[in-house]
Structure 1
């Protein structure tokens, strides 16, 4: 038995960033959101920096040019938070868990 599966790539139509969430409106009508804390760069950014984003490609993700941050729609769907760079993680360890870098 052959089963044909027509997989449609999830694509972004529009997005918004609140103080708590990244909300993505997809072209297929779904709306998904993830906690803002998934991106340590966005968590530390100003509201103006959070609002200044671009849609990547045909809607595969979101790019914040002022922060050099990218989040893919697939990452949002599959639960892949942004990882801290090795330098940022080292600074955090050196300063202690309560400090910010």
Structure 2
């Protein structure tokens, strides 16, 4: 992996960039054994992931690659829904994984 970012609107989401130009979006609340979305967005490695800090609707995510290109996408709506209970759920999930 070449870059990583937490999802800003949902505490259970992690976005990973791969050296083959693909991204993986993981939502541990939905699936913890595989990514919920894998998408090729560049022909070269992704060097940066940038999530917008303001609560935009829809949420935007920018990706930069080794060629200097920047691409901006809207986050999938179901991965942008914030639920207060997910904070505690994620804390428990991490604690369980550490104890394994």
Specify if TM > 0.5: no
Normalized against structure 1, the TM-score is what?
A: 0.38
More strand by percentage: 2
| TM-score, length basis structure 2 | 0.39
- Whichever of the two has the greater Rg, that structure is 1
Q: Larger RCO: Structure 1 or Structure 2 (Cα < 8 Å, ≥ 6 residues apart)?
A: 2
